[in-house]
Amino acid sequence: MIARVTLEIALRKEFDYLIPPDMAGRVEVGTRVKVPFGPRHVMGVVTALAEQSPHTNLRPLARIVGAQSPVTPKVLALARWIADYYCCPVETALKSVLPDAVRRENAAWQERLWVRAQPPDGALPKLSRRQLEIWHILEEWRDLPLRELLQLAQTTADTIRRLEDRGLVRIAPRIAERDPYAREQFLPTQPLALNPEQDRALRRILDAMDPAAPSPAGSPAASMPAPQAAVRVFLLHGVTGSGKTEVYLQAIAHALQRGQGAIVLVPEISLTPQTVERFKARFCAGPAPTLVAVLHSHLSAGERHDEWHKIRQGRARIVIGARSAIFAPVDPLGLIIVDEEHEHSYKQEEAPRYNARDVAVVRGQREHAVVVLGSATPSMESYYNAKRGKYALLELPTRVDHQILPVVRVVDMRLETRQQKGTPILSMALKEAITRRLEKREQVILFLNRRGYSTSLQCPKCGYVAQCPHCSLALTYHRPEQMLRCHVCGYHTPAPTVCPQPACRNPAIRYAGLGTQKVEETLLKLFPHARISRMDSDALKRKEDYRRILGDFRLGRIDILLGTQMIAKGLHFPNVTLVGIIYADLSLHLPDFRAGERTFQLLTQVAGRAGRGEVEGEVVVQAFTPFHPAIQYARRHDYAGFYEQELEFRQQLAYPPFARIALLIVKGRNEDKVKFASEHLRKQIAETLPHPDDLIVAGPAPAPLLRAEGFYRYHLMLRTRHMLRLSRSLARLSTDLVLPEHVTLTVDIDPLNLAS
């Protein structure tokens, strides 16, 4: 037999090796192996088995690494699809599919030495007083880790060894699982009685999970027309607080009953202890408890290894995690849930540039698992698929608690600027609203998606603007440290006190634009008695800060919470009755065709933070373009209305969901070379790509952020309705393409970020 192996060292190729007789039967697809390669031995993964090889003089595998292959053959096949579709080498795809912690050669369970008492059949042999004391401790505990015994008995390992020599104890290594949640307790919860809308949604999902199950006679379902041809994917469109999570939980319970597992994807930022707790509390206790594995970027390598293998061994059948959890080796897989499916964090911004939501759909199809995409503001792509019948649309239009959605007021900041002779940070309306809420001892959230103090440092006399020396971007002023910082590359320099232009030296240098620090300063002046906290990545220096501030806010120790999009997501605070959005059009002006969609989503989400408790909520939106559809439809909580008009715009310009995009990024330190290379690339595309009639090519053009971290970038944007075909052509083209020295080409399929 021949093993086809992908090597860790990225060479867009697979290599054939002989399986030596002593390894026969132990090598399967997914097995990690060490193989000879030139004079060295390197790590690899078996990606296929074959009877014969076209090559001669094959060398044998050196050895098998690890007892069980960390991936299932199905997930490995998925990696091949990712390489094919996202236009990258298989080795690159494998790097995401197999986390480092399980791929490394020395990845293993952590072992600890345990001591176990071996009571003798007859009388206890004669022991010293010290030995007898230790024996009594051991008799009581039966077994315990050596290290703990040493502490408890105030003794040494030698003493214990002597007990072992006399046959009274056994010392043996045992696996010590690293469980990041080991110290937390969960109160078990029961499934809630669903409301009719939830019930309808859940039934549709369960029906898809048991396609062959006949509905029991006499049940209402029996008299209904047969369901339409099975769709495998559901889009669950439900406003915040409509009870989507409860539907997920009950669908998962059903998968478990069928002997299948489930993967739940949530955006990294929503993977809070509360979220994890809801899942653990439902499934970790009760009559048939199962482990819930959690995968996210804050795990140590050891914890990640252990969580992964608990899944692989089938002990944990539910996985909850961020993006890369889509590759968890759950088998058999019954259900995949992608919560907040519109979130951009599902897209990986480095190779392989996959979108976990789309991979979920593909994986679900391949493994016959039901996929549920959930969101209050579905992406245009998913909603379009649902409208076309490719996905089944499930709607939860009302909140579980029957609360009405908050009233949203839009303040025209142009009028405000005229009336107040200058642009205020807070409009009259917002100022009054805050005052009112504070008097009633209610809480306020203010949102501005820009950190720092001001956006730029300008000299009104000579027009100088402080720029990053490595990026085509103005530096942001950070007041607490008196620094200018670049938000792209991190460059920083002390803020000057006079204009740095030698000919100018104007001391009246000014800071233009607005950041969270400046808003905080204004709030402190306007509301001196309020307790105010700022939450952005500058304010959060340590991992615990996030939890601590949210905890204080929950306990009512903070009156006004001001923050960037960090506070927009999934947080639930019953006492928040007012949400203020300081500058709603900020994200509208990004040079990206999704700017409107993103603004709509952000406004809807932030507004959803108001009025989650007894008191009705209120939202004040400050905007310079108050009549923009993204703002107006968000004001009316009208997703369908926004979708319709946005779809028209997308159709006119042949943007997604009507076509798919491949973004080609040409990058290098020398702008002339980059420009030349991208023009050459355009010519190559015109000459070599088949199916030119399906292809729209735009560019090359300088990227919106022409220079970042010292590199110039040019973009070419390709649009097609048949992406897999284009990806394959691009893969061929990029292997044949000869680029000038120090110029690189990146291919980003289905890019989400066009603005940089």
Closest by CA to 168, choosing from 215, 203, 121, 209, is: 121
> Is residue 243 a contact residue for ligand ADP (CB under 6 A)?
yes
Contacts of 358 (CB under 8 A, 6+ apart): 750
Of the residues 198, 454, 678, 720, which one makes contact with ligand ADP according to CB under 6 A: 198
Q: Sign of torsion, CA 212 213 218 223?
A: negative
Total number of residues shown for the chain: 756
Q: How many angstroms from the chain centroid is the CA of residue 380?
A: 19
> Is residue 197 a contact residue for ligand ADP (CB under 6 A)?
no
CB under 5 to 8 A by kind: which of ligand ADP, Zn ion, none does 30 bind? none
CB under 5 to 8 A by kind: which of ligand ADP, Zn ion, none does 608 bind? none
> Is residue 515 a contact residue for ligand ADP (CB under 6 A)?
no
Running DSSP on this structure, what letter comes out for residue 553?
H
> Is residue 265 a contact residue for ligand ADP (CB under 6 A)?
no
How far is residue 391's CA from residue 338's CA, in Å, rounded to a whole number?
A: 14
Is the Cβ of residue 245 or residue 260 nearer to ligand ADP in the bound state?
245
Both ends of the chain: CA-CA distance in Å?
49
Q: Which two tokens stand for residue 76?
A: 């490995």
How far is residue 465's CA from residue 479's CA, in Å, rounded to a whole number?
A: 17
Residue span binding ligand ADP (CB under 6 A) among the ranges 62-70, 106-114, 243-251, 596-604? 243-251
> Is residue 192 a contact residue for ligand ADP (CB under 6 A)?
yes
> Is residue 246 a contact residue for ligand ADP (CB under 6 A)?
yes
CB under 5 to 8 A by kind: which of ligand ADP, Zn ion, none does 486 bind? Zn ion
Of the residues 204, 237, 244, 635, which one makes contact with ligand ADP according to CB under 6 A: 244
Running DSSP on this structure, what letter comes out for residue 580?
E
Could you give the dihedral angle defined by the CA atoms of residues 51, 54, 55 and 59, in that order, rounded to the nearest 10 degrees?
-10
What binding mask, one character per residue, do residues 200-239 give for ligand ADP by CB under 6 A, x or -? Answer: --------------------------------------x-
Residue span binding ligand ADP (CB under 6 A) among the ranges 104-112, 192-200, 204-212, 353-361? 192-200
CB under 5 to 8 A by kind: which of ligand ADP, Zn ion, none does 53 bind? none
Running DSSP on this structure, what letter comes out for residue 739?
P
Contact 377, 342 (CB under 8 A): yes
How many chain residues bind ligand ADP (CB under 6 A)?
14
H or E element that contains 301: helix 301-312
Least separation, in Å, of the C-beta of 596 and ligand ADP? 24
Residue 173 pairs in a beta bridge with 113
CB under 5 to 8 A by kind: which of Zn ion, ligand ADP, none does 242 bind? ligand ADP
SS3 state of residue 534: strand
Of the residues 47, 240, 355, 577, which one makes contact with ligand ADP according to CB under 6 A: 240
Contact 233, 392 (CB under 8 A): yes
Residue span binding ligand ADP (CB under 6 A) among the ranges 72-80, 242-250, 436-444, 491-499? 242-250
Least separation, in Å, of the C-beta of 469 and Zn ion? 7
Least separation, in Å, of the C-beta of 238 and ligand ADP? 5
> Is residue 587 a contact residue for ligand ADP (CB under 6 A)?
no
Least separation, in Å, of the C-beta of 189 and ligand ADP? 9
Least separation, in Å, of the C-beta of 677 and ligand ADP? 48
Q: Which two tokens stand for residue 582?
A: 């300081």
Residue 349: how many other CB atoms lie within 10 Å: 12
Give the HSE-up count for residue 517: Cα atoms under 13 Å, Cβ half-sphere: 18
Is the Cβ of residue 432 or residue 614 nearer to ligand ADP in the bound state?
614
Is the Cβ of residue 251 or residue 685 nearer to ligand ADP in the bound state?
251
How far is residue 282's CA from residue 273's CA, in Å, rounded to a whole number?
A: 14
CB under 5 to 8 A by kind: which of Zn ion, ligand ADP, none does 166 bind? none
Residues binding Zn ion (CB under 5 A): 468, 470-471, 486, 488-489, 491
Is the Cβ of residue 194 or residue 586 nearer to ligand ADP in the bound state?
194
What is the footprint of ligand ADP within residues 700-719 (CB under 6 A)?
none
Least separation, in Å, of the C-beta of 292 and ligand ADP? 17
CB under 5 to 8 A by kind: which of Zn ion, ligand ADP, none does 238 bind? ligand ADP
What binding mask, one character per residue, do residues 397-436 give for ligand ADP by CB under 6 A, x or -? Answer: ---x------------------------------------
CB under 5 to 8 A by kind: which of Zn ion, ligand ADP, none does 378 bind? none
Contact 97, 76 (CB under 8 A): yes
> Is residue 343 a contact residue for ligand ADP (CB under 6 A)?
no
Cis, peptide link before residue 352, omega less than 30° from 0: yes
Residue 190 Cα distances to 250, 260, 285, 372, angstroms: 10, 20, 10, 22
Contact 719, 696 (CB under 8 A): yes
Least separation, in Å, of the C-beta of 708 and Zn ion? 7
β-pairing verdict for 510-512 and 456-458? antiparallel
Q: Sign of torsion, CA 499 504 505 510?
A: negative
Is the Cβ of residue 162 or residue 278 nearer to ligand ADP in the bound state?
278
Closest by CA to 399, choosing from 642, 617, 187, 643, is: 617
How far is residue 632's CA from residue 628's CA, in Å, rounded to a whole number?
A: 6
Closest by CA to 209, choosing from 164, 174, 248, 258, is: 258
Is the Cβ of residue 193 or residue 212 nearer to ligand ADP in the bound state?
193
How far is residue 427's CA from residue 415's CA, in Å, rounded to a whole number?
A: 10
> Is residue 194 a contact residue for ligand ADP (CB under 6 A)?
yes
H or E element that contains 326: none
CB under 5 to 8 A by kind: which of Zn ion, ligand ADP, none does 470 bind? Zn ion
Is the Cβ of residue 537 or residue 651 nearer to Zn ion in the bound state?
537
Least separation, in Å, of the C-beta of 533 and ligand ADP? 24
Residues forming the site for ligand ADP (CB under 6 A)? 192-195, 198, 238, 240-246, 400
